[in-house]
């Protein structure tokens, strides 16, 4: 089945630093990928839609200058949390849409970010 | 706005049947999906209903009524490993998923 690889699976960083998270579709091309954030015991909240070759579309309330998204190829999208602060500590999950497979969505394994 | 409602928690015993309901209010509805998530893990796809009716996949079934803006996930022959959070999610335009708050299922021996 389709696989989405997300890396790193966990990261600890100091406040003020930037962290990059990668999301790769391993055996299909994904023109669209989605980035979600999940706080403990809460639901997944859509942050942005990443479109290959164009600017990402951010959901209301998500700072585009803080959460930089780049989707430079059909198999890779990256989310960079810039100048991270403790309140950015969360579980970040990507998903990719496989248009060759009934547009099914496949999730990455998630990245647990802890900002000290 | 968009909103989904599902129970926050459900408890059942091994071997039993449990139904998790989901009502939704959204614009641009394309279908209803269900996901399972264990603690610390990513969501796992369970089912997708685009049309009214029941979809069965092994021990899990999912139902949708578009006219009632309602769906449910039915889990049969419950096993301890089914203890997890279950999310209903509306598939919106462009493949976006709008998730409910999740139902924590506890399966007891």
Distance CA A110, CA B1 (A): 27
Distance CA A102, CA B4 (A): 24
Is residue B101 within 8 Å of A43, Cβ to Cβ? yes
Over residues A70-98, the pLDDT tens digits come to: 998 899 999 999 999 999 999 999 999 88
**Per the CB < 8 Å rule, is A34 touching B97?**
yes
Over residues B40-70, the pLDDT tens digits come to: 888 888 999 999 999 998 999 999 999 999 9
Least confident of B14-18, B40-44, B84-88: B40-44
Query: For residue A89, what are the contacts with CB-CB under 8 A and spacing of at least 6?
Result: A113, A114, A115
Q: Is the pLDDT of residue A68 over 70?
A: yes
B93 vs A113, residue with greater confidence: A113
**Chain B CB within 8 Å of residue A44 CB:** yes
Is residue B2 within 8 Å of B27, Cβ to Cβ? yes
CA distance B17 to chain A (A): 24
Q: Is the pLDDT of residue A2 over 80?
A: no
What pLDDT score does B26 carry? 86
Question: Of the candidates B40, B44, B95, which has its C-beta nearest A32's C-beta?
Answer: B95
Query: Average pLDDT for residues A55-77, to the nearest whole number?
Result: 93
Q: Is the pLDDT of residue B1 over 70?
A: no
């Amino acid at each position: 089945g389709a696989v989405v690889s997300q890396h790193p699976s966990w990261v600890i960083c100091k406040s003020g630093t930037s962290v990059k998270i990668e999301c790769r579709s391993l055996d299909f091309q994904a023109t669209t990928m989605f980035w979600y954030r999940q706080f403990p015991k809460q639901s997944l909240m859509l942050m942005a839609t990443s479109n290959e070759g164009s600017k990402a579309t951010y959901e209301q309330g998500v700072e585009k200058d803080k959460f930089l998204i780049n989707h430079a190829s059909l198999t890779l999208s990256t989310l960079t949390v810039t100048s991270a602060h403790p309140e950015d500590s969360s579980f970040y999950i990507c998903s990719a849409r496989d248009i060759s497979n009934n547009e099914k969505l496949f999730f990455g394994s998630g990245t647990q970010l802890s900002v000290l | 706005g968009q909103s989904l409602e599902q129970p926050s928690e459900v408890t059942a015993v091994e071997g039993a049947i449990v139904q998790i309901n989901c009502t939704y209010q959204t614009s641009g509805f394309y279908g209803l999906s269900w996901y399972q998530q264990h603690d610390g893990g990513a969501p796992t796809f369970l089912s997708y209903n685009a049309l009214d009716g029941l979809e069965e996949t092994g021990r899990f079934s999912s139902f949708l009524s578009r006219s009632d803006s309602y769906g449910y996930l039915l889990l049969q022959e419950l096993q301890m490993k089914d203890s997890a959070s279950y999310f209903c999610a509306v598939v919106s335009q462009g493949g976006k998923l709008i998730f409910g708050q999740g139902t924590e299922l506890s399966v007891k021996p």
